[in-house]
Amino acid sequence: MPEVHVEPRNRSERRHPELMDYASAAEMLGCSERMVRKLVETRQLDHIKVGRLVRIEPAAIARFIDQHRREAVR
């Protein structure tokens, strides 16, 4: 029997679940959307552009946090 592929009916079902918008990334970082936009604009935070949309991978957030981690002075 041939494999059947069914396209999602609406846009929300087609979204890539791992990609986040500014609001989700801001929530993950604990900052404002404006701060995330500034990080993207200054290319401090890796991102994906799809047309005019900007999406951010959770791995990019993790890398950003690791790159900016500072050890405590003892």
In a domain, 63, yes or no: yes
Domain that holds residue 26: 17-67
- Give the model's pLDDT for residue 49: 94
In a domain, 23, yes or no: yes
Residue environment code for 17-29, b if the CB has 16+ CB neighbours within 10 A, otherwise e: eebbebebbbeeb
| pLDDT tens, position by position, 44-71 | 999 999 899 999 999 999 999 999 999 9
pTM: 0.72
Question: Contact 48/59 with Cβ under 8 angstroms?
Answer: no
Q: How confident is the model at residue 8 (pLDDT cuts 50, 70, 90)?
A: low
Q: How many domains does the chain have?
A: 1
Residue environment code for 45-70, b if the CB has 16+ CB neighbours within 10 A, otherwise e: bebeeeeeebbbbeebbeebeeeeee
In a domain, 73, yes or no: no
In a domain, 46, yes or no: yes
In a domain, 4, yes or no: no
In a domain, 8, yes or no: no
